[in-house]
A and B are shown apart, each in its own frame.
Chain A
Amino acid sequence: MADYKETLRRLALSDESFVDSVLGMGHDTVDASRLDPKTHALVRLGASLAIDAAPSSYQANIEVALAAGANIDEIVGTLIAVAPTVGLARVVSAAPELALALGYDVDAALERRSGDAE
Chain B
Amino acid sequence: MAEGVISRPGARSSARAERLAGAVAAFELLESKLRAPLDRRGAVSRRALIGLLEEQSGAVPVVVVSAGPGWGKTTLLAQWASQSRRPFAWVSADENDNDPIVLLTYVAAALDRVSRLDPRVFEALALPGVSVEGTVVPRLGAALAAMDQPVVLVLDDLHLLDSPPCLDAIAALSRHVPEGSQLTLSARGEAALPLGTLRARGLTLEIGQDELRMDEAEARELLRAAGLELAGAEVAELTERTEGWPAGLYLAALSAKASGAGIKGAMAFRGDDRYVSDYLRSELLSRLPRDELRFLTRTAVLDRMSGPLCDAALNGSDSAAELESLERSNHFLVALDRNREWYRYHHLFQELLRAELQRAEPDLVPRLLGRAGEWCAANGQLEAAFRYAQEAGDVDRAARLFEQCGPLVYQSGRIATTERWLAWLEAHGAMQRNAAVAALGAAVASTWGRPAEAERLADAAEGASYDGTLPDGSASVDSWLAIVRAQLCRRGAARMREDAEHAVRTLARGSFNRPNALLQLAFAEWLADEIDQADDLFADVAEEGLELGTHEAAALALGERAAIAIERGAWVQAEELVDRALQIVRRSRMEEYPTCALVWAVAARVELHRGVSERGQEFLARAQRLRPRLTYAVPYFSIQTRLELARAYLALADAGGARTMLGEIDALLRRQPDLGMLPARVEELRASLKTMRADAPGASTLTEAELRLLPYLATHLTFPELGERLYVSRHTVKSHAMAVYRKLNVSSRNAAVERARELGLL
A residues in contact (CB < 8 Å) with B: 6, 9-10, 13-17, 30, 37, 55-56, 59-60, 63-64, 66-69, 71-72, 100-101, 103-105, 107-108, 117
A-contacting residues, B643-657, CB 8 Å: 655-656
Q: Write out the residue numbers on chain B whose beta carbons fall within 8 Å of the beta carbon of A55.
A: 735
User: Is A63 a contact partner of B748 (Cβ separation < 8 A)?
Assistant: no
Contact partner of B701 (CB less than 8 A), chosen from A67, A100, A101, is A67
Give the chain B neighbours of A108 by CB distance below 8 A. 728-729, 731-732
Partner of A71, one of B666, B690, B694, B695: B666
Question: Per-position contact with A for B631-662: 1 when CB-CB < 8 Å, else 0?
Answer: 00000000000000000000000011001100
CA distance A117 to B732 in the complex (A): 15
Asked whether, in the complex, the Cβ of B747 is within 8 Å of the Cβ of A15, the reply is: yes
Q: Please, which residue of chain B has its CB at the minimum distance from the CB of A96? A: B731
Asked whether, in the complex, the Cβ of B742 is within 8 Å of the Cβ of A13, the reply is: yes
Residues B732 and A100 in contact, CB atoms below 8 Å apart: yes
- Smallest CB separation, B599 vs chain A (Å): 27
| Residues in B679-727 with C-beta less than 8 Å from chain A | 689-690, 693-697, 701, 703, 705, 727
A9 to B689, CA, bound (A): 34
**How many residue-residue contacts, CB under 8 A, span A and B?**
83
Contact between B696 and A103, CB atoms less than 8 A apart: no
Whole-angstrom CA separation of A101 from B736 in the bound complex? 8
Interface SS, B side: helix
In the bound complex, residues from chain A placing their C-beta under 8 Å from that of B227 are none
Tell me, in angstroms, the Cα distance from A90 to B602 when the chains sit together. 47
Of B656, B705, B727, the contact of A67 (CB 8 Å cutoff): B656
In the assembled complex, the Cα of A9 lies from the Cα of B751 at a distance in Å of 12
Known A9-B747, A59-B735; judge A67-B694 contact (CB<8 A).
Answer: yes
- Chain B residues with CB under 8 Å of chain A are 655-656, 659-660, 663, 666, 689-690, 693-697, 701, 703, 705, 727-729, 731-732, 735-736, 738-739, 741-743, 745, 747-748
Q: A67-B660, A108-B732 are in contact. List 7 more A-B contacts (CB 8 A).
A: A63-B697, A64-B694, A66-B701, A68-B659, A69-B659, A100-B732, A104-B732
For A72, what are the chain B residues with a Cβ–Cβ distance below 8 Å? Answer: 663
Contact B663 A105 (CB under 8 A): no
Main secondary structure of the interface of A (DSSP, over half): helix
Cα–Cα distance between A37 and B691 once the two chains are bound (Å): 10
Closest to B654 in A: A67
**A15-B745, A103-B705 as given contacts; A68 in contact with B739, CB under 8 Å:** no
A69 CB to closest chain B CB (Å) equals 5
Q: Which residues of B contact A104 (CB under 8 A)?
A: 732
Given contacts A63-B742, A68-B694, contact A103 B729 (CB under 8 A): no
Residue from A9, A17, A100, A105 in contact with B748 in the complex, judged by beta carbons closer than 8 Å: A9
Q: Which 3 residue pairs of A and B lie closest in terms of their CB atoms, listed nearest first?
A: A67-B656, A108-B729, A67-B694
A-B contact pairs, 20 of them (CB 8 A): A10-B747, A13-B738, A13-B742, A16-B696, A37-B693, A37-B694, A55-B735, A66-B656, A66-B659, A66-B663, A66-B697, A66-B701, A68-B655, A69-B659, A71-B666, A100-B732, A100-B735, A107-B731, A108-B729, A108-B732
A103 to B663 CA separation, bound complex (whole angstroms): 14
Tell whether, in the assembled complex, residue A117 and residue B727 are in contact, meaning their CB atoms are under 8 Å apart. yes
CB <8 Å contact, B694 and A103? no
- Smallest CB separation, A20 vs chain B (Å): 9
* Residues on the A chain within 8 Å of B738, using CB: 13, 56, 59
Query: What CA separation (Å) do A97 and B508 show in the bound complex?
Result: 57
Q: Are B728 and A66 in contact (CB under 8 A)?
A: no
Given contacts A37-B694, A55-B735, A100-B735, contact A14 B701 (CB under 8 A): no
Please, which residues of chain A bring their CB within 8 A of the CB of B697? 63-64, 66-67
| A105/B732 in contact, CB under 8 A | yes
Assess whether B739 is in contact with A63, with CB atoms less than 8 Å apart.
Answer: yes
Q: Which residues of chain B have C-beta atoms less than 8 A from A105's C-beta?
A: 728-729, 731-732
- B residues near A103, Cβ cutoff 8 Å: 703, 705, 732, 735-736
CB proximity of A36 to chain B, nearest CB, Å: 9
Closest CB in chain A relative to B628 CB, distance in Å: 13
A108 to B745, CA, bound (A): 29
Q: A13-B738, A63-B739 are in contact. Are A71 and B705 (CB under 8 A)?
A: no
Query: Nearest Cβ in chain B — how far from A53, in angstroms?
Result: 14
Of chain B, the residue at the smallest CB distance from A117 is B727
| B701 CB to nearest A CB, Å | 5
B residues near A63, Cβ cutoff 8 Å: 697, 701, 739, 742-743
Q: How far is the CB of B135 from chain A (nearest CB, A)?
A: 25
CB of A96 to closest CB in B, whole Å: 9
In the complex where A71-B663, A103-B735, A117-B727 touch, is A6 in contact with B747 (Cβ < 8 A)?
A: yes
**A2 CB, nearest partner CB in chain B, Å:** 11
> How distant is the Cα of A15 from the Cα of B695 in the complex, in angstroms?
14
Q: How far is the CB of B601 from chain A (nearest CB, A)?
A: 20
Q: How far is the CB of B659 from chain A (nearest CB, A)?
A: 5
Give the CA-CA distance A33 to B695 in the complex, in Å: 17
CA A84 to CA B729, docked complex, whole Å: 31
Whether A107 lies near B745 (C-beta < 8 A) is no
Q: Give the docked Cα–Cα distance between A104 and B736 (Å).
A: 10
Q: Verify A67–B747 contact, CB threshold 8 A.
A: no
Contacts of B693 in A (CB 8 A): 30, 37, 68
Task: For the complex, give the distance between the alpha carbons of A107 and B731 in Å.
Answer: 9
